[in-house]
Amino acid sequence: MERRPVAASTDCRPFLARNEFLIRRLHSLTGLIPVGAFMTVHLATNASVLDGPATFQRAVYQIHSLGRLLPVVEWAFIFLPILFHGLLGLVIIRGGMVNTGSYPLIGNIRYVLQRATGVIALVFILCHVFHMHGWFHSELWLERVVEPLGGGRFRPFSAPSTLGAAMQGGLVIPALYAVGLVACVYHLANGLWTMGITWGVWAGPQAQRRANWICGTAGVVLGILALSALYGAMTVDVPRAVEIEDALYEARVTAHKLAPNERKRADAERTGRGGSRVE
């Protein structure tokens, strides 16, 4: 397979065409597993910050207990499925049209919203991962590109304080997050309903109406969870969070439960960590 990326873009149609059914079914499936499932867990983890910085920090330690495997898991089960679902989604959007002007029916409006929220969600996720995570773990990339651009703000071993610092200081970022979150939640809840039709889980009109209620309720619950997580991040008491997370970090390092890793901790000058440690 000697194929250059440029040639691949023109050659990909026959491949997409030949495997259209399989690819579309995979697209539908990845929306729920792993993307939707990950999103639910991610929102629940982040909403745990409402219980206090310690709860959130412990939840993050649990995730980071994967150690060096984490980037593999991240890419295999989160980033690649999201990219697959999102980029193929753009191809799918190109195959449809908006005719709500002639047919202003509720199902048709939901069809358009599903595509609009999908695009918003894709842009939001790309920005959000850049803002918090930085996309790649390479030191050079993070120091030279991401951090000067204001990204890569989240540090897993200083989780509540860096999360709080990234989401505080102005309402622009929280407002953008709110839009992105609502788009993601709508896309998942409505997508769950259409997925049930696509796979033939609910077929009859009554069954579809019942499923609509279930998916709608799931959407509302997820929406509350998402906005709680956002509110939680916006109201973290950063100096107090620094104390708590540093105590947790040092306890873990002393107990040999954790290999010291300054890269995963907050920059001293940003959160004033150095000062608090001297006390």
Partner 1 sequence: MAENHREGEAAKTFDVRILRQAGPGQASYWERHRVSYEPDMNVISVLQKIAAHPRTADGQDVTPVAWDCNCLEEVCGSCTMVINGRVRQACSALVDRLLEQHPDEIELRPASTFPVVRDLVVDRGRLFQALKKVTAWVAVDGYYDRGEGPPQSQEEQEQLYPLSHCMSCGCCLEACPQYARVELTRGVDESPEEFVQRQAETYDRLFLGPHAISQVILFNSHPTGRHMSSLRLDALIAEGGIQLCGNAQNCVAVCPKDIPLTTSIARAGRAATVHALRKWFDV
What residues line the site for partner 1 (CB under 8 A)? Answer: 17-18, 20-22, 24-25, 92, 95-99, 102-103, 105, 107-108, 110-112, 194, 196-205, 208
Q: Which two tokens stand for residue 273?
A: 């960590």
What letters, b where the CB count within 10 A reaches 16 and e where it falls short, cover 246-273? bebbeebeeeeebeeeeebbbeeeebeb
Q: How far is the CB of 179 from partner 1 (least distance, A)?
A: 24
User: Which residue's CB is nearer to partner 1, number 114 or number 271?
Assistant: 114
User: Which residue's CB is nearer to partner 1, number 97 or number 140?
Assistant: 97
Q: Are the CB atoms for 158 and 273 separated by under 8 Å? A: yes
Q: How far is the CB of 242 from partner 1 (least distance, A)?
A: 48
Q: How far is the CB of 19 from partner 1 (least distance, A)?
A: 9
Q: Are the CB atoms for 195 and 32 separated by under 8 Å? A: yes
Q: How far is the CB of 98 from partner 1 (least distance, A)?
A: 7
Q: How far is the CB of 36 from partner 1 (least distance, A)?
A: 16
Q: Which two tokens stand for residue 87?
A: 């980029």
Q: How far is the CB of 110 from partner 1 (least distance, A)?
A: 8
Residues 132 and 149: their CA atoms lie apart, in Å, by: 12
Residues 166 and 182: their CA atoms lie apart, in Å, by: 19
Q: How far is the CB of 102 from partner 1 (least distance, A)?
A: 6
Q: How far is the CB of 17 from partner 1 (least distance, A)?
A: 5
